[in-house]
C-alpha cells in the first residue's frame, strides 16, 4: 500500500514534504494495528470522556483567578469558553495570528497603531469601549480586574 501511496504522491511532494513523509513512514514501520481499544486518560488516570474533560475544565483552578468566575456563571457554554480562551490569550486575535505568521501585522483596523491582543479586544479598542459604554459600564484598567467592575443594580456581574 505504501508503494501505491508513494507512487501517487511522489511527483506532487516538495522536498521538505518528501522528507517529512519519509520520517513518518520510518516512525510507522514498527507499529502494527491491534484489535485492542485505544485507551485515553485524563490526569490521575481518569478515563477520558467529554463529561470528565468539562468537569476538569470547570473545576476550581487555584492557579487561574478567572476560572471560578467563568465556570460558575450562568452564561451559556459558548460565552464561558470564549471567556476562558480570552483570559488564557488563546483567541485568534491579530496579535496571536501575527505571532503564528498567519497575519501580516497585529494592528487593530480601528485603532491603527495598537496591536490586537486579548486586553485590546475586550477593553481598550474604541469598539470595545463603545460596547462598555452602551452597557452603562466603565472598562477596568486591566483585564485581570474585570471581575471588580462596578455594575448597575440588576446587572450583577457574578450572576
Ligand atoms: Zn482597536
What's the gap in Å between 152 CA and the centre of ligand 1? 26
The answer to whether the pTM exceeds 0.85 is: no
Give the per-residue pLDDT at 151. Answer: 80
- Taking only the tens place, the pLDDT of each residue in 87-139 is 989 999 999 999 999 999 999 999 988 999 999 999 999 999 999 999 888 99
What's the gap in Å between 134 CA and the centre of ligand 1? 17
Give the per-residue pLDDT at 157. Answer: 58
Q: Is-contact 106 95, C-beta < 8 A? A: yes
Give the per-residue pLDDT at 68. Answer: 85
Give the per-residue pLDDT at 158. Answer: 56
> If 0-12 CB within 10 Å is exposed, 13-18 middle and 19+ buried, where does residue 52 land?
middle
Q: What cell does 72 get? A: 460558575
Q: Report the distance separating Cα 144 and Cα 131, nearest Å.
A: 19
- Taking only the tens place, the pLDDT of each residue in 59-85 is 666 677 888 888 888 899 999 999 999
What's the gap in Å between 117 CA and the centre of ligand 1? 9
Band the pLDDT of 1: cuts 50, 70, 90. Answer: low
**96-103: which pairs have CB atoms within 8 A and are 24 or more residues apart?**
none
Give the per-residue pLDDT at 18. Answer: 84
Amino acid at each position: 500500500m505504501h508503494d501505491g501511496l508513494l507512487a501517487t504522491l511522489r511527483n506532487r511532494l516538495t522536498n521538505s514534504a518528501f522528507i517529512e513523509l519519509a520520517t513518518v513512514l520510518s516512525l510507522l514501520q514498527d507499529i502494527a494495528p491491534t484489535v485492542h481499544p485505544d485507551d485515553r486518560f485524563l490526569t490521575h488516570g481518569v478515563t477520558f470522556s467529554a463529561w470528565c474533560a468539562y468537569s476538569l475544565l470547570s473545576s476550581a483552578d487555584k492557579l487561574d483567578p478567572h476560572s471560578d468566575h467563568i465556570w460558575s456563571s450562568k452564561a451559556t457554554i459558548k460565552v464561558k469558553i470564549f471567556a476562558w480562551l480570552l483570559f488564557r490569550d488563546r483567541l485568534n486575535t491579530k496579535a496571536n495570528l501575527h505571532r503564528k505568521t498567519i497575519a501580516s501585522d497585529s494592528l487593530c483596523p480601528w485603532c491603527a497603531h495598537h496591536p490586537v491582543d486579548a486586553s485590546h479586544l475586550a477593553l481598550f479598542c474604541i469598539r470595545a469601549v463603545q460596547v462598555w459604554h452602551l452597557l452603562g459600564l466603565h472598562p477596568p484598567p486591566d483585564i485581570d480586574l474585570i471581575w471588580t467592575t462596578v455594575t448597575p443594580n440588576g446587572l450583577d456581574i457574578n450572576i
